[in-house]
Structure 1
């Protein structure tokens, strides 16, 4: 089967890899000059199935007000005359209940766990390297209230058999020795030892290079629309002309809704801008060994080879990709407060990208009412965490196989 994958980020490239492995004739189209040049370029570096949770939960509306007033708050909202923004926000608010949170987290964790297993199998099979580490994630709590409020998440982790450890101060320092220098600034943590870290851009680029023997990667190509005969998708209109296809995978991240809207498909995916800084390590003894999630500021601090990646903040501002200096403040503060002296702040590089967020949390993976048109988008902050699993599932669906995990509730029809 001739399959065209739209998007050369981590979701698109992993989709192409598994589709080619299943025996399909695969072409990848991307407007950039190479793979992983947009949202996958400098993300937080986490493969964190244990941290797979929807943003929408019962405490978020009140927390959002607090975050907006914090000096180093994780949230910024820049109101726009955009009905799509307000519709998405209202949908998210409707998911801010304990019942909806449990349902949505229950949809995310199995896919994230499966995806981590697929990544490990891929790594063993190909020998791919990407500054990977398998040292877990430490969710760090600065207050006792945060510790007391983690019970619901632990219940879900237990339900799905996800390894976890609730740690006191000494346990946190044992997992991340550099925290011994600031032990008075936190009270405990939740460690997820099955989580991994690595450089997503390096992974995606290396996987594309491995797949290039059987996949046709075409960069610098603009896609203007999906062609169909009223029943099935038949091809893609591009800056290089029409490309025929038996199946099409839309993996355009935040730009997926605009592509499928002319087909009558309403995709509730909206961009939430995230920022990161990357700084060279100055002192190994003061740097993290894996990922520390600063729960108060929602900042992930990750060890990537000889660098530290600090990622986080959520800015709701449409498709604005401007680098706002003020949004760097929370990143600088968190890494300096917990790992001061570990990195060379004066040599840090600043970056932003658009996370494709659904209002309920889980991604949208599966077919549509248009035959041959498939979606693999809406992964939000968990794109790399869920990439291999989502791609493997999609390859199975297109190949007529039953996926290893149930994704019947991840399709567009849930809306």
Structure 2
């Protein structure tokens, strides 16, 4: 079949690779001049198969109120007259129950674990390199209350067979030796040893080159204007450079996916939640992380990427804005210098990206009511983590095959 993938971020490029591998004629269309130049450009770098949870969780509404008053808040809410924002927030609040949290986390862990296997397979197939490390994620707790609250995550990990270790202060230092300098600031941690790290931008660009060698066509600097839909079936896509026909289309436009879908009566509850990152060169390796450390207090990930430290996090709900607020930079600087002062802050680069979040945390992968139109979007903070598994699922669905995992509850129809 002739398949068009809309979007060349990590989700679009991995989808294109798997579709080409399945034998389809694939074209990728993106408005940027190259791969991974928006949300996939400078994310936190963590590939967190085990540290994988919905933002909607029991207790989050009360925590959110406290966060809004913090100087270094993990959540920033800029309310505006925006029905999509308000609807998304209400849907998220409805998911903040123990029952829905358990269900959503189980779905996410299943897809994340499938992605772990899929990424290992892809590495074996291609020999791809992207500053990768396989040393786990350490969720770091500064207070006993945080450590106690991790019990619900431990329960979910155990139920799904995901390896983990609950660590005391000494165990955290053993996993991340640089924490010895600040051991008095921590009480314990939760280690998910199967987690990985890597540069998403490097990975996406390398995989795009591999996909191109497989016959995938990339059309850069091309904006999608509309879909060509006739008789309940997609026929192609209309861009600023003309119309192209296709047997199937995969929408992987991240936060912009719902803006296209609403023209066709498809209500896709995906909303942009802005994240920020700093990237700085390492000057003292003894004060730098070995893998990824998630600072639970500020919800910030501090990751080793080769000879650099990537500091990423926060959730700003402010619509489709990409400004770089100095207060957000101060929060990133505070977290990394407090725990790992081994980088050169004077040479740090500051970035922001719009994460496509669903109210239940689970991405939207699968068919729509329009024949031949598929979605692969809504991965939130876990696009890098879930990309390879999501790509295999969508390639199977487009090809008319049953995916290797149960993908029924991943489709947009779950919101009906």
TM-score when scaled to structure 1? 0.99
User: Structure 1 residue runs of 4+, over 6 Å off?
Assistant: none
Which residue number corresponds to residue 288 of structure 2? 287
Shift of 1:181: 0.1
Which residue number corresponds to residue 76 of structure 2? 76
Separation in 2, partners of 1:143, 1:69: 19
Which residue number corresponds to residue 253 of structure 2? 252
Does the aligned pair in 2 maintain the 1:226–1:260 contact within 8 Å? no
Which residue number corresponds to residue 363 of structure 1? 363
Separation in 2, partners of 1:406, 1:159: 17
Question: What SS is found at the alignment partner of 2:68?
Answer: helix
Question: What SS is found at the alignment partner of 2:110?
Answer: helix
Q: Deviations over 1:19-71 (max 9, x none)?
A: 00000000000000000000000000011010111000111000001111111
Separation in 2, partners of 1:389, 1:128: 17
Alignment of 1:30-41 (within 5 A): 30-41=30-41
Q: Deviations over 1:178-224 (max 9, x none)?
A: 00000000000000000000000000000000110210011000001
Which residue number corresponds to residue 266 of structure 2? 265
Shift of 1:125: 1.1
Alignment of 1:211-230 (within 5 A): 211-213=211-213, 214-230=215-231
Question: What SS is found at the alignment partner of 1:50?
Answer: coil
TM-score when scaled to structure 2? 0.99
Shift of 1:401: 1.2
Shift of 1:230: 2.5
Question: What SS is found at the alignment partner of 1:221?
Answer: coil
Question: What SS is found at the alignment partner of 1:79?
Answer: coil
Which residue number corresponds to residue 42 of structure 1? 42
Question: What SS is found at the alignment partner of 1:37?
Answer: coil
Shift of 1:149: 1.0
Which residue number corresponds to residue 115 of structure 1? 115
Separation in 2, partners of 1:136, 1:55: 21
Separation in 2, partners of 1:381, 1:375: 17
Separation in 1, partners of 2:265, 2:175: 50
Which residue number corresponds to residue 28 of structure 1? 28
Does the aligned pair in 2 maintain the 1:15–1:395 contact within 8 Å? yes
Q: Deviations over 1:82-125 (max 9, x none)?
A: 11111110110011111110010011001001001101110011
Separation in 1, partners of 2:125, 2:223: 33
Structure 1: gaps of 5 or more residues = none
Residues 1:89 and 2:99 are matched in the alignment: no
Shift of 1:73: 1.0
Residues 1:147 and 2:147 are matched in the alignment: yes
Tell me how many residue pairs correspond in the alignment. 414
Shift of 1:400: 1.3
Does the aligned pair in 2 maintain the 1:172–1:189 contact within 8 Å? yes
Shift of 1:233: 0.4
Separation in 1, partners of 2:192, 2:71: 29
Structure 2: gaps of 5 or more residues = none
Separation in 2, partners of 1:30, 1:82: 27
